[in-house]
Amino acid sequence: MFYVLKSVTLLTRHLLENVVTHMERIVFQKLVEWKDSATRKPLVLNGARQVGKTWLLEQLGKQYFKKVAYLVCRKNQTLKDVFSLDFDTDRILRALRALSGVDITPGDTLIVLDEVQDIPEAIESLKYFCEEAPEYHIAVAGSLLGISLHRDISYPVGKIDEINVYPLNFDEFLLAKGETEAYKLLKDKDFHTTNLIHEKYTDLLRQYYYVGGMPEAVKVYIETDGLQAVRNIQKAILNGYERDFSKHAPKDQIARIRLVWQTLPSQLFKENKKFIYGSIKHGARAKDFEIAIQWLVDAGLVYKVPLCKEVKLPLKVYEDPSSTPLKISTDAVKLPLKVYEDPSAFKLFTLDLGLLGAMVGTEASQVLVKNDIFSEYKGGMTEQFILEEMKSHGEENIFYHKTDDGTRLEIDFLIQRNGKLLPIEVKAEGNVRANSLSNLLKQTPELHAIRYSMKPYIEQPQMTCYPLYAIQ
């Protein structure tokens, strides 16, 4: 697969014109599965701007379809008129054939509507394609998609398939760099061998900490080793996000969104990583910034990790001391940790480690050379990395745990996997002393935990210890 990107500097423009780089995205397989599914619905690719949604759809079309009808919705009044008139799918298809110059036929043509946030009615039309023209393959992508959809249209819940697209994770970074064997060792869980080349993985992880996973930044780094070029791209992406605030956010929320966004690193690099409204500005309260935070979450620019108040087996919460048992919903059974969620307490993370580094101005020498980079910023960079990796691997309900009873028990992350609670501790260096996790495991001997640190893989009673680069 070959990745062609928009450039932000003369250097990257030259590279994109003269060099082709192999870029493999693991999420691409999900698109192939969607294409072949007997129960396929119109596809929505969710994700922040510049994470590679357009490229994924272009590659899907090139590799698996005879024809691609690609249409850009941004500043396209003619296309907007097509979807604004009504939702007659036959009429819309005739118009798409005319505008794309492609003879759209079922089964062998991929219809792509890009930058769809500019025509919300195109999203609403997916409901009718699902019901009246399911034989057609239609997929849409766009920046800030989730926000645009909530304002003026009826979102087609239950009538679409959705795939989340994130920046390249560490596995994909290895593949992009041509480190195929290193990738395979991690996927095969050959920890005996990975332990032998621990320093190699550590060096690769240092590179990832600086570059991050934004596709354009990864591409330029691989092709040039140009660290300043990477940083220029990261800054350009950040500037683009801030411009989006003005374009897409409610006018009365723009200033608040900027404040949350700009203070996010300082919140993450505190000893106590809980989001504090007063750190935004003096006297700030939850009601002042709730909408701004949710806007950033919906945009895919920020991940919100809420507090889980209890670390206990899920059904306990449903016990009714009376003789009449509680009725519980299917959703509640699937997501038991949600019932312990405290919506007033949470951590905020950004979407990409490299962008976070650009926001705080980390120096290349600090990341690639210094021995203590993984412990810098009070472990905030490392928690950011682990959170990103979990999201890209499909973990949806991620929490943290902290007591307020004086015991100072704190667990970095808490998830449920295979019907079991899984505490996760993150250590940014080789010092792995952790009173909180030790105390929790003593109190609950039925639990098994995971620890990520800079130490090689080792299996211990009640805990599996993985190096940071081998997230499971």
Residue 449 is part of which domain span?
Answer: 207-470
Residue 149 counted as domain residue: yes
Contacts with 34 (C-beta within 8 Å, 6 or more apart), sequence order: 40, 43, 161, 163
Give bridge partners of residue 413 from the DSSP assignment. Answer: 424
Same domain, 258 and 120: no
Residue positions counted in the chain: 472
User: Residue 301 and residue 298: Cα distance in Å, rounded?
Assistant: 8
pLDDT at residue 318 in the model: 32
Kindly state whether residue 23 falls inside one of the protein's structural domains.
no
Judgement on whether residues 59 and 156 belong to the same structural domain of the protein: yes
CB contact set of 1 (below 8 Å; sequence gap of 6+): 22, 23, 24, 25, 28, 59, 63
Q: Evaluate whether residue 182 is within a structural domain.
A: no
Amino acid at 192: H
CATH of the domain at 33: 3.40.50.300
Domain identity same for 159 and 220: no
Mark whether 158 and 231 lie in a shared domain. no
Residues 154, 231 within the same domain: no
3-state secondary structure 66-104: CEEEEEECCCCHHHHHHHHHCCCHHHHHHHHHHHHCCCC
Residue 164's contacts (CB-CB under 8 Å, 6 or more residues apart) are: 27, 46, 47
Q: Would you state the pLDDT for residue 152? A: 63
pLDDT of res. 269:
84
Do 354 and 463 reside in the same domain of the chain? yes
131 belongs to a structural domain: yes
Q: Which residues contact residue 435 at a Cβ distance below 8 angstroms, ignoring those fewer than 6 apart?
A: none
* Residue 470: DSSP 8-state: G
Whether 153 and 217 share a structural domain: no
**Per-residue exposure over 228-254, b if at least 16 CB sit within 10 Å of its own CB, e if not:** ebbbbbbebbbeebeebbeebbeeebb
The per-residue pLDDT for range 294-348, each reduced to its tens digit, is 999 989 999 999 988 777 644 334 333 443 333 323 333 334 566 667 667 889 9
Tell the burial category of 173 from Cβ atoms under 10 Å away from its Cβ (0-12, 13-18, 19+): buried
Q: What pLDDT was estimated at residue 337?
A: 66
285 and 421 part of one domain: yes
Report DSSP letters for 249-296, one per residue: S-GGGHHHHHHHHHHHHHHHTSSS-S--GGGTSTT--HHHHHHHHHHH
Question: Taking phi first (over 0 means left), then psi (-120 to 50 degrees means alpha), and beta for anything else, what does residue 214 get?
Answer: beta
Would residue 180 count as lying in a domain?
no
User: What would you measure as the largest C-alpha separation in the chain, in angstroms?
Assistant: 74
Same domain, 349 and 446: yes
Do residues 111 and 241 both lie within one domain?
no
Phi, psi of 423 (to 5 degrees): -75, 140
Q: Is 226 a domain residue?
A: yes
Q: What is the distance of C-alpha 116 from the center of its chain?
A: 20
Q: What is residue 447's predicted lDDT score, i.e. its pLDDT?
A: 87
> How far is the C-alpha of 206 from the C-alpha of 138, rounded, in Å?
40
The count of domains in the chain is 2
Q: Is residue 253 part of a domain?
A: yes
pLDDT of the residue at 431: 66
Q: Which residue ranges in the chain fall short of pLDDT 70?
A: 1-22, 144-152, 312-340, 342-343, 370-378, 405-407, 430-432, 434
Does any domain span residue 102? yes
* Domain final position from 97, 129, 164: 164
For residues 155 and 66, state if they share a domain.
yes
154 and 48, same domain (yes or no): yes
